[in-house]
Amino acid sequence: MAVNNFLNEEQKAWLDVVNDFMDNEITVEYVRHCDQNREYPYEAYAKIAEQGWLGVLIPEEEGGSGGDIFDYALMAEGLGKFGFDFACSVLVPTFTAMNIIKFGTQEQKDEYVKPFISGDIRFSVSMSEPDAGSDVFGTKTHAKQDENGDWIINGAKMWCSGAKADNTVIAMLVRTDQNDKHGGLTMLLIPNDTPGLVINKLPTLSRHATGTTEIFLDDVKVPADSILGKVGQGHEIILNHLELERCAVAGAYVGNAQEAVSNANRYAQQRTQFGTAIYNFQVLKHMLAENQTRVDAARLLVYRAAAMKAAGESAAAETSMAKLYGSETLKQCALDGMQILGGFSNLPEADMERYLRESVQSTIGGGTSQIQRTIIAKSRLKLNNV
Ligand SMILES: Cc1cc2nc3c(=O)[nH]c(=O)nc-3n(C[C@H](O)[C@H](O)[C@H](O)COP(=O)(O)OP(=O)(O)OC[C@H]3O[C@@H](n4cnc5c(N)ncnc54)[C@H](O)[C@@H]3O)c2cc1C
């Protein structure tokens, strides 16, 4: 039974639509070009906005299409086909926007949601700092209110993806109470052209197009109503955010891992050495068989986590399993793909070197593989009541 037989007709059709769109409207050549030139994919983003896909998870009454997390995970799978970086350019804004839907005031929704769906503004999420990575709640960047209620922010954030793109609003985790590690965190919405904000795109191995950034804040001032949720609610917002982020990125890893295996499979059948297609060497055939098995398993983990979340069930461990296995699968498939493509794998037009570079980041961003294992292990402790 094909893995996508677990999808109903509507879900299958949706995945086909996104995959066809990637093949024909976006194209692998465009994704490769943005990576090679470190260019943000503005044209593709506008095309996706035109389709209405930025609002896939947003309720109809807010102007979105009211899809569920399963629809979103399928979109992520399709968008991830030609690389995780490209998928990120759409996933980071869309999963960050959901914080406004869940925790924003009516005024914030009125200000941001429609321009977001139409592609006029985008969102980034800034949790990490130079000294707060896996221990993200060790956030030091601090904000305090002045006599007018405006927020004054000082500090440094790290690795904020997409923050340098035009018209981006950054959802930033800041410290508002030094004495309470978790309860002392607050989320602020900060437009990326706010005076005092310095944002530098970093020359990273991965994420060439969406870009990831360092951010310095020197007495940055934003109005009192820039707060998302309440003072001290940052911890809750980020935990909620991370579950959605992990489900989305896991979908994209699966889409990209599938393409890495398919690409290697096509090449192995075309490339002849010693008078025969290299696919006929059992060692390569088995490598491909094993990797397709991994991709199918990763896909099923994503579908399980997304189905549970769509049904309103708590799925922290299942989401971490999907994220862990999806990212490790992508890394393995890209690494083996490099071996199967031989010397050609090193060229950009083979696409595999891009998949490999991005796969190395996939086991780090959104919580490392070690952190995912810790989350899964904690849930087992609870289950066994140890
Ligand atoms: C390209 C890129 C894009 C990113 N985009 C964003 C973004 O948009 N927004 C954002 O906020 N962040 C972003 N990040 C940051 C990312 O989430 C962090 O890099 C990640 O959480 C790990 O933090 P760290 O890099 O500080 O590593 P560290 O936390 O210093 O970890 C280093 C090593 O120690 C291990 N380790 C740490 N703690 C433990 C533990 N308790 N148990 C076992 N092992 C442990 C880690 O697994 C890792 O192997 C991005 C990162 C990259 C590279």
Ligand 1 centre distance from Cα of residue 369 (Å)? 9
Query: Cβ–Cβ contacts within 10 Å for residue 203, how many?
Result: 8
- Ligand 1 atom nearest to 130, measured from its CA: 26
Nearest CA to ligand 1 atom 41: 371
Structure tokens given for 109: 């929704």
- CB 161 near ligand 1, within 6 Å: yes
Structure tokens given for 343: 């010397």
Contacts for 237 with CB less than 8 Å, ≥ 6 apart: 99, 102, 103, 187, 228, 229
pLDDT of 6: 84
Dist CA 349 CA 28 (whole Å): 9
E-assigned strands of 70-146? 122-126, 142-145
- Ligand 1 atom nearest to 368, measured from its CA: 47
Residue with tokens 């299958």: 12
Taken as a whole, the chain contains a residue count of: 386
The tens place of each residue's pLDDT in the chain, 386 residues long, gives 566 678 999 999 999 999 999 999 999 999 999 999 999 999 999 999 999 999 999 999 999 999 999 999 999 999 999 999 999 999 999 999 999 999 999 999 999 999 999 999 999 999 999 999 999 999 999 999 999 999 999 999 999 999 999 999 999 999 999 999 999 999 999 999 999 999 999 999 999 999 999 999 999 999 999 999 999 999 999 999 999 999 999 999 999 999 999 999 999 999 999 999 999 999 999 999 999 999 999 999 999 999 999 999 999 999 999 999 999 999 999 999 999 999 999 999 999 999 999 999 999 999 999 999 999 999 988 766 54
Dist CA 335 CA 140 (whole Å): 37
Dist CA 211 CA 1 (whole Å): 39
Ligand 1 centre distance from Cα of residue 72 (Å)? 24
CA distances from 321 to 66, 149, 246, 317 (A): 26, 43, 10, 6
Whether the Cβ atoms of residue 204 and residue 160 lie closer than 8 Å to each other = no
H/E run at residue 249: helix 234-270
Residue type, 213: T
Which structural domains are found in the chain, ordered by start?
A: 3-121 (1.10.540.10), 124-234 (2.40.110.10), 236-384 (1.20.140.10)
Ligand 1 centre distance from Cα of residue 354 (Å)? 21
- DSSP per position, 42-86: HHHHHHHHHHTGGGTTS-GGGTS----HHHHHHHHHHHTTT-HHH
Contacts for 300 with CB less than 8 Å, ≥ 6 apart: 3, 6
Pairing of strands 197-201, 212-222: antiparallel
Choosing from 96, 137, 249, 368 the residue with most ligand 1 atoms within 8 A of its CB, the one to mutate for a pocket test is 368
Using a 10 angstrom Cβ sphere, with 0-12 exposed, 13-18 middle and 19 or more buried, the burial of residue 351 is buried
Structure tokens given for 135: 């221990």
pLDDT of 140: 98
Dist CA 358 CA 255 (whole Å): 13
pTM of the model: 0.97
pLDDT of 311: 97
Using a 10 angstrom Cβ sphere, with 0-12 exposed, 13-18 middle and 19 or more buried, the burial of residue 312 is exposed
Structure tokens given for 329: 């699968």
pLDDT of 3: 67
Nearest CA to ligand 1 atom 44: 370
- DSSP per position, 4-35: GGGS-HHHHHHHHHHHHHIIIII-HHHHHHHH
Nearest CA to ligand 1 atom 23: 133
Choosing from 159, 187, 323, 358 the residue with most ligand 1 atoms within 8 A of its CB, the one to mutate for a pocket test is 159
Dist CA 202 CA 331 (whole Å): 22
DSSP 345: G
pLDDT of 60: 97
